[in-house]
Amino acid sequence: MAFQMLLFRLSIILFSISGVYSVDFIIKNNCKVPIWPGALTGAGNPISTTGFRLLPGSTTTATVDVSTTQWSGRFWARTLCSMGANGKFACATADCGSGQITCNGAGAIPPATLVEFTIATNLGQDFFDISLVDGFNLPVSVTPIGGSSGCQPVVCARSVNPVCPPELAVKSPRGLVIACKSACMAFNTPEYCCSGDHNRPETCPPTNYSKIFKAQCPQAYSYAYDDKTSTFTCSGGANYAITFCP
């Protein structure tokens, strides 16, 4: 972490000299098995990588330039991945459907634990969250490195899979629960998707299903209108450590 802080300070110095400012996302696999993180840019400059393999204990850094425009995007981790006989790469959870290790502009197919960011230009205020709105597949944490105000870690350390209701569970061929669907994905009704006549906070309260997700990960979004306890900020410029299975 001391080395990461040194890199952060050097990046601030370079920004002050050249006007070029980039943010590093330091992605670590703390799980006992390999994972395949994916990244998707929603707005702004493209990120340096959109997918890669990460062995247990390994770390890789993804970088985005925010010198002239803010960046928004998300990260997730795919599991139980392999190359099929047809030559296409696929994963049992959070696959992006690209047929390759890189996702190339495709997002995660639910259920997937998402880490979402909006990164400001000029060392302004970033917004970030962990979202289980699209379901859950792996625990994750986000830790700001540097920054000047309001920069606190966000953690979803407890797995939802062991307490996932059978009607939401995604199972491996061996019968193990490897992911947990959201109620919206499972039932596709307005009260669970916060759509139709349930498209406002007043008409779409937490459900018994979203409360299961919230109990496991109190800082994470558990449904669409879970903003008050689930959106976090960091001002002054920061890099971010994303750890799967913290």
Strands lying side by side in the sheet with 154-156: 59-65, 22-29, 238-244, 140-146, 154-156
pTM: 0.91
pLDDT above 80: residue 5:
no
Indicate the CATH number for domain 2-158+218-244.
2.60.110.10
Per-residue pLDDT tens over the stretch 31-79: 999 999 999 999 999 999 999 999 999 999 999 999 999 999 999 999 9
Per-residue pLDDT tens over the stretch 98-152: 999 999 999 999 999 999 999 999 889 999 999 999 999 999 999 999 998 999 9
Per-residue pLDDT band for 3 (boundaries 50, 70, 90) equals very low
**Sequence spans of domains, the chain:** 2-158+218-244
Task: Name the percent of the chain lying above pLDDT 70.
Answer: 92
Per-residue pLDDT tens over the stretch 194-220: 999 999 999 999 999 999 999 999 999
Task: Name the percent of the chain lying above pLDDT 90.
Answer: 86
pLDDT, position 15: 47
